[in-house]
Amino acid sequence: MVTIQADEISNIIRERIEQYNREVKIVNTGTVLQVGDGIARIHGLDEVMAGELVEFQEGTVGIALNLESTNVGVVLMGDGLLIQEGSSVKATGRIAQIPVSEAYLGRVINALAKPIDGRGEISSSEYRLIESPAPGIISRRSVYEPLQTGLIAIDSMIPIGRGQRELIIGDRQTGKTAVATDTILNQQGQNVICVYVAIGQKASSVAQVVTTFQERGAMEYTIVVAETADSPATLQYLAPYTGAALAEYFMYRERHTLIIYDDLSKQAQAYRQMSLLLRRPPGREAYPGDVFYLHSRLLERAAKLSSLLGEGSMTALPIVETQSGDVSAYIPTNVISITDGQIFLSADLFNAGIRPAINVGISVSRVGSAAQIKAMKQVAGKLKLELAQFAELEAFAQFASDLDKATQNQLARGQRLRELLKQSQSAPLAVEEQVLTIYTGTNGYLDSLEIGQVRKFLVELRTYLKTNKPQFQEIISSTKIFTEEAEAILKEAIQEQRERFILQEQAT
């Protein structure tokens, strides 16, 4: 018969008691009442916070946006086709955040920072909240460094500085994306990290932009965040904030960044769709009451940081689409009032063959000449005024039959100035080339040429200077001033090139 020793039993029991680890886990759960159209209504989730992420039983994640007395309105970050009524939902205790790292450069990602370019996972150890507070007043300093776009019309008359927010606004098919992509192409070698956010666009359009960047070597310093037209409204609404979080990561590391939101009209439409489905009261144009806050909290994150924080910067170029040139609609007026100026693109100018179709008269930069190098200020000072006077004269000249010689000369000069502002797509110019182009036009060296010859002459002049007189470019790039020596070199080059050009034209 087996004898049972009491002390052995007590030892075993003691061991078991010591090993017992009582783990108490409190989970905030709820039940799905209703689901559809990218929205779920949840009963329970009593402790949930506004903006908190919630996880459904089958793995879909959502954001709690509406906290009502009887239920919680959740927007889904996926199609939610497998979510069933009555299934459980648990609160995660986190708000939306994304991984960030240098490895994102050159990649195409979605609003959740997952790669969509088929080139494998992206390694990162750090996380940033998608919604971060903007830098305060003390954390900022005024904008003083230029961000060159490579477009003469912008860099000379509507200059953009690092840390500025400049709106690009115009009808559909007026070249808004082209202005933004040219600006990214022009950042090559400027040590600027670019983030291009495509919201609600055709996948083919985004692919075209990415291909352009790859062909021109711009993907090395660019991140593309894309949520196409078939993405859920929640992800289209989040995409700009994801882009801003990535740009902020570099800005706080003392780097310069440029972010393009293409376009905020589609983000506002996605937000309107979400809000109406959540049964929030509609306001003007059926947008919810907080649509201004939607854009202001996004664009306020663009800043030029103070010396203490390392002088990093984030320049924002939001794009807004207008309907038949109506700038007084709700979203355009909101974004105009948030930004530090706007570049207005006109369909009439575009159709008349003036591209980029920038309407210089109503485009402004509220930073102004603080964001220009001295050489550009010296040559472009009178350009805007001359073009404005020309536009006025041109309108008047349509009705006048005989004009005096001075008026005819002014009209001829204006037509040539307008011609020199034209540029082909994906052909940004270095600031030195812009300075010589503007100087040639404003000082009357193009007046004797036919309008059709102006662009050809300027292309040849730029090539001639680059090959035969490289010291001009060296002076401008090193001193940033249009010195007397530079002017003398340029005058000589113009004279030589004009003689060659006239001989060429006569020969043909």
Q: Quick one: tokens of 393?
A: 């004269």
- Note whether 322 and 344 are within 8 A (CB): no
Question: Can you state the angle between helices 176-185 and 203-215, rounded to 10 degrees?
Answer: 30
Residue in 386, 336, 338 with CA at minimum distance from that of residue 361: 386
- Note whether 252 and 185 are within 8 A (CB): no
Coil, strand, or helix at residue 300?
coil
Can you state the percent helix, strand and coil of the chain, rounding each to 5?
45, 20, 35
Instruction: Please provide the DSSP assignment of 23-40 as one string.
Output: ------EEEEEEEETTEE
Distance CA 158, CA 261 (A): 19
Q: Which residues is 193 bridged to in the sheet?
A: 257
Coil, strand, or helix at residue 199?
strand
Residue 495: enclosing H or E segment and its boundaries? helix 484-507
Active site residues: 366
Which distant-in-sequence residues (6+ apart) come within 8 Å of 370 by Cβ? 142, 143, 144, 161
> For 367, phi and psi rounded to 5 degrees?
-90, -35
Q: Quick one: tokens of 33?
A: 């009442």
Question: Given its phi and psi angles, is residue 198 left (phi above 0), alpha (psi -120 to 50 degrees) or beta?
Answer: beta
Neighbouring C-beta atoms of residue 345, cutoff 10 Å = 26
Q: Quick one: tokens of 93?
A: 């205790």
